[in-house]
Structure 1
Amino acid sequence: MPKIDYSLNSYQRPKLETPNGEKKLLLHSCCAPCAGEIMEALAASDIDTTIFFYNPNIHPFEEYEIRKEENVRFAKKLGMPIIDADYDINEWFEKTKGQENEPERGKRCSTCFDMRFERTAQYACENNFDIISSTLGISRWKDMGQINDSGERSGQLHHVPYWDFNWRKKGGSSRMLELSKKENFYQQEYCGCVYSMRDTNNWRVSKGREKIERGVKFYHEAKLKLSQID
């Protein structure tokens, strides 16, 4: 059987369908690089999608603004509505208190996912959306089971179904990277929270590398500051 080429230039997108024919999808987005491929797939499938940007974990606020604006930029390109939710960082710190030293994929990540999914599901319920999903699962650095468990819990809490589609399959992760390069998305090197930045910097220093330089566009021929190319 010939190998299928799933790259952006040759891939023939199949029409996606929601699990039970739901019409209005509220898609939680963590950042443009993760969301881009998923947003394109949904747009190509004519699924009525609204993006919900709620990520109070992202630290510091300047980093949050950069990631949000990249997502807004691509949503506008696709003609896709995007909701800019609150940046309630103080509540995030309160909920994760005592979990500061949890590893990636540990209890702190579950707390963080729950907080973001619960707000997504609540908004969906209050604004007549039929189903929710998230871009979090496309990253190979995340535990998909952990993410889906959180999505299911939050959906049940607010009586809205959660779509656990595996966005990584059939070349999704590789197309995500291709699209990020094509669209010149801002690419961060840590998940988002102050603790993930700390742990990433510790790892980089242990390998003799420099600490994270925020505000740099890594999907570019040179590491240029956003202000130099915008």
Structure 2
Amino acid sequence: MKDADEILKWMNKDQKINYDRVLQKLIKSWQDNNERPKILMHTCCAPCSTFTLEYLCDIADVTVYYYNNNIQPRNEWERRRIVLRNFVHDFNEKTGNEVQIIETEYQPSTYLKEVTELRDEPEGGLRCNVCYNIRLTSAALYAKEHGYDYFGTALTISPHKNSQTINEIGIDIQHLYNTKWLPSDFKKNNGFYRSTEMCEEYNIYRQSYCGCLFAARKMDNLDLKQISREADRFVKLNSDSESNFNLVEFNFQHKEEPVSE
């Protein structure tokens, strides 16, 4: 199967790259060759997963990868995990797909030790780039170890995230670990608007901050204590009644050494 480099080499390097167009060209290559790839899709929450799954599931076998040690407090990480699990279950029921979920252990210290010195960086700055790199590296390693054709992320559906930067980081990781990055800009073609529609259709909780406390503390009118109380109530009400464990594979460790060239 083609990788992003095979398409990017034909594009004008002096212009801003349209990564949605790159993905479309990649999809056409799958269709021309009767290929149906296995994709490991990193996601941070159910809202980002909505249109992403709708877009890809007709042409690929998609597994959702929930690895987000940046989300704090823990009960908010738990709430987003449960909401994601419930959405995937409902999406499968409605569409007939068989999307699975990989859930990793919550280890916020692995994030904090990398970004604490960057606490004063503005949102969208270097701290975010480090966060993207941590999460996409984890996805790439898992994809490499478990035979996925591509690794990608649903983060590009957000208008608040820099898709150019995310794709550049993904391509760098592709080169480092000898795996294939799935280029994307899912907010294009009304993707973000469609995600808001799907959140209403599936009654999905939409969080008010990305998850990072450093950024959240700089937001006006964001009451983290209230968010924590609401998340705690949600988790207590839902943790004992979770019925979607058949969707989930738990992954607690993986190798962290680059693949030899």
Q: TM-score range by the shorter chain?
A: 0.7 to 0.9
Q: Could you give the per-residue CA deviations for residues 163-196 of structure 1, whole angstroms, max 9, x where no partner exists?
A: 1122112111100111111111111111101112
Q: Which residue of 2 aligns with 1:189?
A: 208
Query: How many residues get paired?
Result: 201
The structure 1 residue matched to 2:48, chosen from 16, 29, 34, is 34
Q: Which AA in structure 1 matches 2:223? A: K
Deviation at 1:211, TM superposition (A): 2.4
Q: Which residue of 2 aligns with 1:127?
A: 146
* Unaligned residue ranges in structure 2 (runs of 5+): 1-23, 93-97, 239-261
- The SS at the match of 2:165 is helix
Deviation at 1:161, TM superposition (A): 1.2
Could you list the runs of 4 or more consecutive aligned residues of structure 1 that deviate by over 2 angstroms after TM superposition?
A: 16-22, 210-213, 225-230
Deviation at 1:215, TM superposition (A): 6.1
The structure 2 residue matched to 1:112, chosen from 121, 125, 131, is 131
Q: Could you give the per-residue CA deviations for residues 146-170 of structure 1, whole angstroms, max 9, x where no partner exists?
A: 1111211222221111111221121
- The SS at the match of 1:17 is helix
Task: Name the CA distance, whole Å, in 2 between partners of 1:89 and 1:75.
Answer: 24
The structure 1 residue matched to 2:74, chosen from 61, 65, 68, is 61
Equivalent residue runs for 1:172-211 within 5 Å: 172-200=191-219, 203-204=220-221, 211=223
Task: Name the CA distance, whole Å, in 2 between partners of 1:197 and 1:191.
Answer: 8
**Residue 49 (1) aligns with residue 82 (2):** no
Task: Name the CA distance, whole Å, in 2 between partners of 1:18 and 1:52.
Answer: 25
Q: Which AA in structure 2 matches 1:104? A: E
Task: Name the CA distance, whole Å, in 1 between partners of 2:218 and 2:66.
Answer: 25
Q: Which AA in structure 2 matches 1:130? A: D
- The SS at the match of 2:206 is coil
Task: Name the CA distance, whole Å, in 1 between partners of 2:28 and 2:144.
Answer: 17
- The SS at the match of 1:214 is helix
- The SS at the match of 2:227 is coil
Q: Which residue of 1 aligns with 2:7?
A: none
| Higher helix proportion (structure 1 or 2) | 2
Higher relative contact order structure (alpha carbons within 8 Å, sequence separation ≥ 6): 2
Contact in 1 for aligned 2:129/2:165 (Cα 8 Å): yes
Q: Could you give the per-residue CA deviations for residues 94-132 of structure 1, whole angstroms, max 9, x where no partner exists?
A: 011210011111000000000000000000000000111
Deviation at 1:46, TM superposition (A): 3.9
Q: Which AA in structure 1 matches 2:114? A: K
Contact in 2 for aligned 1:66/1:215 (Cα 8 Å): no
Alignment TM-score, normalising by the size of structure 2: 0.71
